Amino acid sequence: MEKTHYEIHLQDKVQGVGFRYTAKELADKLNIYGYARNMRDGTVSIELEGSKDKLEQFLSWCKTDSYKTNIKQVDFEEKEVKGYREFSVF
């Protein structure tokens, strides 16, 4: 399986609602690796690695506001694979 790497940035009321832990549950279910981290500016940064179709499922979940968080903007870009072996929450 060829791995792909996405960097995703979510803007607006994403912190303090358990989003990162729900993201971890989904990442574990989809068998994708990386991390979710709260940033000082109130956004959440996510790095993901796995098959492109699984990353697209995760990204779609973010864009459809599945966690009911009032996400105003989802930015992402494909980057070089880093070799994550688990999904962590920071």
**Is 70 tagged catalytic?**
no
Helices of type H across 1-90: 19-30, 52-63
Element of type H or E holding 52: helix 52-63
User: In angstroms, rounded to a whole number, what is the distance separating the alpha carbons of residues 44 and 12?
Assistant: 9
**Is 38 tagged catalytic?**
yes
**Catalytic residue (choose from 20, 37, 40, 70):** 20
**Catalytic residue (choose from 31, 37, 38, 40):** 38
Residues that are catalytic:
20, 38
